[in-house]
Chains A and B, each alone.
Chain A
Amino acid sequence: MPSRTPETRATSLFMRYAILVLVALIFVFPLVFMLVSSLKPSMQLLSDTSSIRAFLPVGDISLDNYTASFARAPVALFIFNSIFVTSVTVVLNLVICSMAGFSFAFLDWKGKDVMLSIVIATLIVPLETIAIPLLLVVNNLPWIGADGIEWGWLNSYRVQIVPFLSDALTVFLFVQYFRDLPRDLIEAARIDGASWFQIYAKVIMPISGPVIATAAILRFLAMYNQYLWPLMVTQSEQYRPVMVGLQYFFQLNTDWGQVMAYLSMITVPVLAFYLALQRAFITSIASTGIKG
């Protein structure tokens, strides 16, 4: 069988890259459109949409939309609220769900399989279904504040955090990942006299980077994009997150330039978070076949 010539290999490589570049462009175009449009006046933005100019920073380019966005809404406050709520939730969620996953994967206790089935079954229950009862619950919960015991959690950060401290998908991800780890690790640690918590904290979690990254990204996106729940529980502007804030920009005559500027600003934390965990995320998908 004749070997491939260098020319054939080069052509093949070129074709492969051409396809990859094309696919990359398809994925990048919306982001480019958003960023470029955020620099244009609304009328120009709309008239440019019918040509390639939509993706080019041409015409009347300025940062006016960004200035106007800050005038229209407390953008910095919304971004802070979202990052705070999301970060706290993701960190606590990873701790709680990884512990639950560890228990399901490694500990022996009565009814474990049934309980895991129940947890996984909750995956099919959307938030919208339980939003009203959940609202009634949080509206009647006590909290110890500066003035003593207060009733009702509305208008606070905790009402946006606590209900999401655990979720079935994250537990499931950890269970699946832990089950693929060699049991020898656990047995060796047990022989060395380690407690279950020590095994969790010092043996299992340090080698669980990929699943932690995957779960963190998925949770981050889900929390950062929350709309319905924060809308229901934050009557005061002080606690509103970015997605509720986005609605400030949809008016009778929507200024699309400002919408794009706001979207560009609120996309930055998501991109930064994803890029920071990208390598571990890809490793996780490649090694476990988890598609998220």
Chain B
Amino acid sequence: MGRFAKLTGILALTTALAGPALAATELSMWYHGAGGDSAERDTFARIIKEFNESQSDWEVKLQAFPQIAYNDAITAAAVAGKLPDIIDVDGPIMPNWAWSKYMQPLPIPEEKFAKFLPGTLGHWDGKLYSVGLWDAAVAMYARKSVLEENGIRIPTLDKPWTLEEFDAALVKLKDSGKFDYPLDLAMNDKGEWYPYAFSPFLQSFGGDIVDRSTYKTAEGALNGEAAVKFGKWWQSLFERKLAPGTSQDTADHDTGFLEGKYALQWNGNWAALKPLDKFGDDMLFLPAPDFGHGPKIGAASWQLGISASSEHADGAAKFIEFATQDKYLAAFSNAIGLIPATAEAAQMTENYKDGGKLAVFYDLSAKQALVRPVTPGYVFAAKEFRKALSDIADGADVQDTLDAAADAITADIEKNSGYGH
């Protein structure tokens, strides 16, 4: 055999062997965690590695963005027609992205996610667009010894505080003279925290950011009798010095409860481990008070979806199915402390299994969670809600402020032809 024939044979052989490797189609994936929790990034990297090794058709490549810049980056990419195949999306923002044609419905039967917490599933227009590997929950941080010293009943999921009980507890804690403020609401955080943490109070009073029966107006929901009752109580918290107001220092929020300056703190499960370490068995995570229409907390965190422009939706769906296995839900929870999306996964974790340190948050999420209004207009409405609550806390007239917010939200809905509702 001549040298040329040998060379040709070797080339043919190597090309044939390389064939399957070259056949893998690249799936681009963007997520919001650049600079964030390295454990979260590592877990994503592990899932992607295991997915890529598990089959030869698809190869996922991850590109991370800083969270604050992520939504703007997605918008710019959508304008340029350069969206990736797989994106992660914050739950309440998802309807806006679906309506804006940034995303397409998941080509996965919804039954596959039948056991997922409701807050982890993102729906728009009757279709499933996104699925979360975890959820987050908010609780009332408290110390057992403080409540007992002041003769305050410890509420349970089945019997949460009523408005009157909660208010009386705050007054009692203030009158004890042992705290700078009885309650820390984290008023320093002017971002998504306001609608996420405080709109459940409004909903428990019987109001809402928009009228969910039609999603075509905020009139009556945000400025009706229940909402005004909530607004007046909300304002009184700051007038009576029961909670620090909008000028609260970030440092005070970060250290206040741990240092005993605040008796109670409205905070999320992501911050739960520090006080647990400090106060041990004395630490309590209490359910939201029932202000009249049942206790409520916010729901929906970051979720995975497929961009509308993806030409490989089938591959992207395969990855999402792969990533939402219980073992990965548990891996994320163990890595970053958030609530796993299923009860089976919760049992595989340290903190959320029965008797686990944070198991109460899973129950809170399962029993009290209410997703923020599922509408593309949420992005605008959330800003108006945030401004209204901030202004009311600063002393603005309750009815006037809520009327103005309701008018602005309704006008925005009308301007956008009802946002597809």
Contact = CB atoms under 8 A, between A and B. Distances in A.
Listed residue (B36, B80, B270) with the most chain A CB atoms within 10 angstroms of its CB: B80
A154 B35 contact: no
Nearest to B83: A235
A250 to B, nearest CB: 5
A201 B270 CA distance: 62
B79 A46 contact: no
Interface in A61-79: 71-73
A203 to B, nearest CB: 45
Contact of A237 (B63, B67, B82, B251): B63
B110 interface: no
Please report whether the interface of chain A is mostly helix, strand, loop or mixed according to DSSP.
helix
Interface string A226-248: 00100111011100000011011
Interface stretch (A15-23, A28-36, A132-140): A132-140
B69 A231 contact: yes
Nearest to B68: A247
A232 B76 contact: yes
Given A49-B251, A247-B66, A250-B68, A73 B35 contact: yes
A3 interface: no
Contacts of A73: 34-35
B76 A135 contact: yes
A261 B79 CA distance: 35
B64 interface: yes
A139 B271 contact: no
Contact of B34 (A46, A135, A228, A248): A248
A74 B249 CA distance: 30
B251 A47 contact: yes
B197 to A, nearest CB: 13
B79 to A, nearest CB: 6
Interface residues of A, number: 30
Contacts of B10: none
B280 interface: no
Nearest to B258: A43
B63 A231 contact: no
Interface in B68-114: 68-69, 72-73, 76-77, 79-82
Nearest to B251: A46
Contact of A231 (B38, B73, B80): B73
A231 B254 CA distance: 30
A251 interface: yes
B34 A236 contact: no
Interface string B29-44: 0100011111000000
B43 to A, nearest CB: 16
A274 interface: no
B63 A236 contact: yes
Chain B: interface size category: 20 to 34
A77 to B, nearest CB: 12
A43 B258 CA distance: 11
Given A43-B254, A132-B79, A135-B80, A251 B67 contact: yes
A97 to B, nearest CB: 28
B35 A249 contact: yes
B255 interface: yes
B270 A235 contact: no
Interface string A121-133: 0000000000010
Interface in A103-123: none
Nearest to B81: A139
Contacts of A152: 80, 82
A252 interface: yes
B105 to A, nearest CB: 25
Contacts of B63: 235-237
A154 B80 contact: yes
B150 interface: no
Contacts of B37: 251
A236 B64 CA distance: 8
A236 B35 CA distance: 14
A71 B64 CA distance: 15
Contacts of A195: none
A54 to B, nearest CB: 10
A244 B76 contact: no
A253 interface: yes
Nearest to B136: A252
Contacts of A233: 76
B277 to A, nearest CB: 14
Interface in B236-263: 249-251, 254-255
Nearest to A133: B79
Contact of B271 (A135, A136, A154, A253): A253
Nearest to A71: B38
A232 B66 contact: no
B76 A251 contact: no
Given A154-B82, A235-B30, A249-B35, 15 more contacts: A43-B255, A49-B249, A139-B82, A231-B69, A231-B73, A232-B73, A233-B76, A235-B73, A235-B77, A235-B82, A237-B64, A247-B68, A248-B66, A251-B67, A253-B254
Interface of B: 30, 34-38, 63-64, 66-69, 72-73, 76-77, 79-82, 249-251, 254-255, 270-271
22 contacts: A46-B250, A46-B251, A47-B251, A49-B249, A49-B251, A71-B38, A72-B38, A132-B79, A135-B80, A139-B80, A139-B81, A139-B82, A231-B69, A232-B76, A235-B63, A244-B66, A244-B69, A248-B66, A250-B66, A251-B36, A252-B270, A253-B270
Interface of A: 43, 46-47, 49-50, 71-73, 132, 135-136, 139, 152, 154, 228, 231-233, 235-237, 244-245, 247-253
Q: Which 9 A-B pairs have the closest CB atoms?
A: A248-B35, A46-B251, A247-B66, A232-B76, A139-B80, A247-B68, A247-B69, A248-B66, A73-B35
